[in-house]
């Protein structure tokens, strides 16, 4: 098991949670008492992390929310690894992947400067676009397989001449790459009915599952259908925790929303975690 996957497994067993908290700050959506500024966002994120770290198995920061705030936003992102407890992996969601020389620079930015423990990458351009990420052996890399958005139907669900869908073909390639590199995971959306079928195709790769909460996906179903043979699944929950309250109690409201989420699965779901 990869060291970061092992840490995720440890967090799951210790916390009884599969939740990765999405850190996607929007200045316009900050609680009403906070200033609409970088300082306000910084205060907001620090409070969210402080109130959710006891149950979060990971955090996922979507880089675009920080990029939209300009250089100050990226500087703020670069501080998060020092704010989040070291035992909790930080996934920077950038969906990167370009020609090899470009990808090398993309990977260096995320890992050497932003402090990411894991990334999300787009497989569309193939292995030469992804290997610069996989070459960061101590990091984990989640390949987009079947995303949670409605537009996934445009390409990811297309049936190929082999009879497989494109998402199934990407997953098969991920299984192959995992044997070579050993540091892959996959992104499969909680809103997609194919989740159990994809899980049955490969029982080992860890899944990062977005789409729970505001997008309508079920945490219980995501855990049941997405967990791998080692008892690991990372279920991202963003807006329903992050913006649980627009008032000054937003920190405690986020904590309560996270607690409510992890209480949802009962019985057999918890039993699949190895001792």
pLDDT tens across 127-138, in order?
Answer: 999 999 999 999
Whole-structure pTM value: 0.93
The band of 272, judged by pLDDT with boundaries at 50, 70 and 90, is very low
- Measuring CA to CA, which residue among 115, 125, 102, 89 is closest to residue 4? 89
Question: Considering its fold, how many domains does the chain have in total?
Answer: 1
Cα torsion through 19, 214, 82, 11, rounded to 10: 0
The model's pLDDT over 66-105, given as tens digits with 9 standing for 90+, comes to: 999 999 999 999 999 999 999 999 999 999 999 989 999 9
Query: Is residue 267 predicted with pLDDT exceeding 80?
Result: no
Active site residues: 95
Q: In whole numbers, what is the pLDDT of the chain averaged over residues? A: 93
CATH of the domain at 38: 3.20.20.70
Kindly list the distances between the CA atom of residue 197 and the CA atoms of 141, 143, 167, 228, 234, in Å, as whole numbers in the listed order.
22, 17, 11, 13, 18
Over range 239-264, report the average pLDDT.
Answer: 93
Q: Which domain holds residue 206?
A: 3-271
């Amino acid at each position: 098991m990869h060291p970061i996957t092992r840490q995720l497994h440890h967090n799951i067993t210790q916390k009884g949670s599969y939740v990765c908290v999405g850190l996607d700050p929007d200045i316009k959506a900050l609680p009403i008492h906070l200033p609409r500024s970088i300082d306000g966002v910084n205060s907001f994120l620090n409070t969210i992390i402080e109130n959710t770290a006891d149950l979060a198995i990971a955090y996922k920061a979507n880089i675009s929310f920080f990029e939209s705030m300009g250089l100050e936003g990226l500087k703020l992102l670069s501080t998060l690894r020092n704010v989040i407890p070291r035992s909790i992996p930080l996934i920077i969601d950038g969906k990167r992947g370009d020609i090899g020389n470009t990808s090398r620079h993309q990977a260096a930015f995320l890992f050497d400067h932003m402090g990411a423990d894991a990334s999300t990458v787009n497989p569309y351009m193939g292995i030469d676009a992804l290997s610069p990420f996989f070459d960061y052996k101590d990091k984990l890399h989640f390949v987009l397989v079947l995303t949670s958005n409605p537009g996934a139907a445009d390409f990811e669900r297309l049936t190929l001449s082999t009879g497989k869908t494109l998402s199934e073909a990407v997953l098969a390639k991920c299984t192959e790459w995992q044997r070579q590199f050993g540091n892959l995971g996959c992104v499969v959306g909680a809103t997609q009915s194919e989740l159990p079928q994809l899980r049955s195709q490969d029982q080992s790769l860890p899944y990062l599952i977005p789409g729970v909460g505001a997008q309508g996906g079920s945490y219980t179903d995501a855990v049941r259908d997405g967990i791998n043979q080692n008892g690991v699944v990372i279920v991202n929950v963003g807006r329903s925790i992050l913006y649980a309250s627009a008032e000054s109690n937003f920190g405690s409201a986020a904590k309560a929303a996270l607690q409510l989420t992890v209480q949802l699965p009962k019985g057999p779901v918890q039993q699949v975690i190895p001792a």
